[in-house]
Amino acid sequence: MLILGLETSCDETGVALYDMARGLLADALFSQVDIHVEYGGVVPELASRDHVRKVLPLLEQVLAEAGCTPQEIDGVAYTAGPGLVGALMVGATLARALAWGWGVPVLGVHHMEGHLLAPMLEDEHPQFPFVALLVSGGHTQLVRVDGIGQYRMLGESLDDAAGEAFDKAAKMLGLPYPGGPHIARMAQRGDPARFDFPRPMVNRPGLDFSFSGLKTYTLNTVAECRQASELTEQDRCDIARAFEDAVVATLVIKCRRALRQEALKTLVIAGGVSANLRLRSALERALDKEGARVFYPAAKYCTDNGAMIAYAGAQRLQAGQVDDEQTRVRPRWPMEELPPLDAAGAA
Amino acid sequence: MTGILAIETATDACSVAVFVDGQYQQRHEVIPRQHSQRLFGMLQELLPSGDLRAHGIEAIAYGCGPGSFTGLRIAASAVQGLAYASGLPAVAVSSLACQVQTALRRGQVHSRDTVLSTIDARINEVYGAVYCFRQGLAVLQQGPWASAPADIPVMNAQSLRAVGNGCRFLDKFPPAVRAVLQSSVKQLLPEARDLVPLALEKLRCGDIQSPAQVQPVYVRNEISWKKLSQQGKQS
Ligand SMILES: Nc1ncnc2c1ncn2[C@@H]1O[C@H](COP(=O)(O)OP(=O)(O)OP(=O)(O)O)[C@@H](O)[C@H]1O
Ligand SMILES: [Mg+2]
């Protein structure tokens, strides 16, 4: 069963072909970062305009790469939410048109379920049940996952998402959007002993996060450095390091707490921030001591991509789930509302 | 005669028509912000399946704008997908021209008239263009533009009939335009079936598009968002 996946929820256009028997056959991605960078963030109208230009050429690219013809495609999956409404609509409408034209089923997929299942694309992938830490530009969530569509929210950010915090801190340091990778690069040259940033919420019970205090602390530290002299390159590296250490430490503590609470030994991290190498190694070290294991997607499937949508869609389409007659995009869409995968079709 | 599927979603109207064997069938509903939800339901009411060739369709016409940005993208994305899946050519027709054709069919303007076609562009602006008719088909004379109602740049018109929901700003149109206005029809939205005659003419001229060439024509290209350099912040 060969499934086409389309991702257009934000500022990347992703298209991929996933086959239930053969795995991922091809995927193509166009990142709009260069379009939005001069605005310091994603401009929704520009994002939508670019998706309409890029998605069909990317489709032709993946078909050529996979050596497939459109007639071989058995179903179409698209990101139905959460995300930017205008951007979602482009992928949703194209997906429905293709599926209707080809006479195959079509299904709207939850973007965060896509992220959550991205580690399944790896040869060595996790087994259910597990705890997932979703850390992206718009989400910071700890979820108990008992199977596809069986999600229980354990905790989430009360304010900024972790990726958003990275982006805001980067802006304070004069780094371009999206800031996560830039902070990580600068932090490598930072002195971990110079600043001691607070670890938000770690002393409180529970599994929720808060990153806005850290944002303020970063802003104040930048201001203090500026007051002393100019903000030097070393200052920026040291602040980046302290910021990253604080976010990583917070995430690690909460992940460990979640695993203990749920009595599970498998952690999955996904979403853009899961590309962060310091987070990965800190989690590995901490979980090793607990006899637990961490799984994450390949770097290119951490941020938005079509492959994760094709994969998630393939599982659900295989189980017989399809859209009804109305196309619905869901800019906001709690993941817990997703139906479980039919046992008969479970992967 | 060539069979056409036509989609027009630039305004509050979600409009789909099928023209096969000289017969029109249309679904036309005024459903602001619900086009994407309803579009495929309407298509399925007109055609038993998406195998367009099997139902006698030979080209897909769409209103390419100007109009609601989201609406334009819904038509363009749908037509991209349908044209790609069927291997049929697409034909882009201005939504302003389509509207003029709708007004002609309804007898709201006549084939000797010069027509100012307008669509409300929100934020107190209008899209507009001037058309006359040649053999009953709207032919572009001036435009299209996006402008404040007072700045509609119509030149040298002797006599005009204005149509479209941009006419709600009529009292703000430039004095030179108002002086030559013979009539105005504010209650008008483009209907998909009126894309068909214009599309047939374009097909005859070989003015067709491949699926990837199917794109909205926004007319308004500036966005209100500020660049970092304009925000007074370092980047
Ligand atoms: N190496 C890294 N270290 C830290 N953060 C990173 C790294 N790489 C990417 N990010 C962050 O990941 C985020 C982008 O991830 P992703 O594309 O998954 O988010 P999104 O799609 O914008 O949001 P969502 O999926 O919640 O809708 C950005 O905030 C970016 O700064
Ligand atoms: Mg994402």
pLDDT of residue B235: 36
The CATH number given to B4-94+190-213 is 3.30.420.40
Task: Please give the average per-residue pLDDT across B25-53, as a whole number.
Answer: 97
Which positions in chain A touch B29 (Cβ < 8 Å)? none
pLDDT in tens, B149-162: 999 998 888 999 99
Structure tokens at B162: 């204005």
For the record, the structure tokens of B132 come out as: 């006359």
Distances (CA, A) of B28 to A94, A97, B190: 21, 19, 10
Tokens of A205: 């019970």
Stronger pLDDT, B225 or B13, i.e. the higher one? B13
Residue A277 CA: nearest ligand 1 atom is 1
pTM above 0.90, yes or no: yes
Give me the pLDDT at residue A258, please. 98
- pLDDT tens digits, A210-228: 999 999 999 999 999 999 8
What residues does ligand 1 touch, defined as CB less than 6 Å away? A 10, 83, 111, 115, 136-139, 163, 166-167, 178-181, 184, 271-273, 275-276, 303-304
Q: Which tens digit of pLDDT belongs to each residue from B132-149? A: 999 999 999 999 999 999
What value of ipTM does the predicted structure carry?
A: 0.96
Average pLDDT over chain B, rounded to an integer: 95
- Please provide residue A53's backbone torsions phi and psi, each rounded to the nearest 5 degrees: -80, -35
Q: Is A209 helix (H, G, I), strand (E, B) or coil?
A: strand
Question: Chain A residues with CB inside 8 Å of B78's CB?
Answer: 93-94, 96-97
**Packing angle of the helix pair A44-66, B69-86 (nearest 10 deg):** 10
CA dist., res. A121 & res. A132, Å (int) = 15
Q: Is A90 on the interface with B (CB under 8 A)?
A: yes
Query: For the domain with range B96-185, which CATH number is right: 3.40.50.720, 3.90.550.10, 3.30.420.40, 3.40.50.1370?
Result: 3.30.420.40
Q: What is the mean pLDDT of chain A?
A: 96
Q: Is the pLDDT of residue A347 over 60?
A: no
Query: CA of A205, closest CA in chain B: separation in Å?
Result: 39
Does residue A48 have a pLDDT over 70?
yes
Indicate the pLDDT class of residue B230, thresholds 50, 70 and 90.
Answer: confident
How do residues A285-338 score in pLDDT, each as one tens digit? 999 999 999 999 999 999 999 999 999 999 999 999 999 888 889 999 999 999
Pair A331, A83: CB distance under 8 Å: yes
B32 pLDDT higher than 70: yes
> Are residues A46 and B211, on separate chains, in Cβ contact within 8 Å?
no
The Cα B174–Cα A111 span in angstroms is: 49
Is A118 within 8 Å of A275 (Cβ atoms)? no
pLDDT of residue B222: 77
pLDDT for A325? 84
Q: What is residue B181's DSSP assignment?
A: E
Strands (E), chain A: 2-7, 12-19, 23-31, 75-81, 106-110, 130-135, 140-147, 150-156, 266-270, 293-295
| Per-domain residue ranges of chain B | 4-94+190-213, 96-185
Three-state DSSP class for residue A178: coil
pLDDT in tens, B13-22: 999 999 999 9
- A-chain CB neighbours of B81 within 8 Å are 93-98, 100-101
- Taking CA–CA distances from A325, the nearest residue in chain B reads B41
Yes or no: say if B58 and B4 are a contact pair by the CB < 8 Å rule: yes
Pairwise CB contact (< 8 Å): A38 & B228 = yes
Identify from A4, A48, A60, A100 which residue to disrupt to test chain B contact, counting B C-beta atoms within 10 A and taking the largest count.
Answer: A100
**Which pLDDT tens digit goes with each residue over A191-203?**
999 999 999 888 8
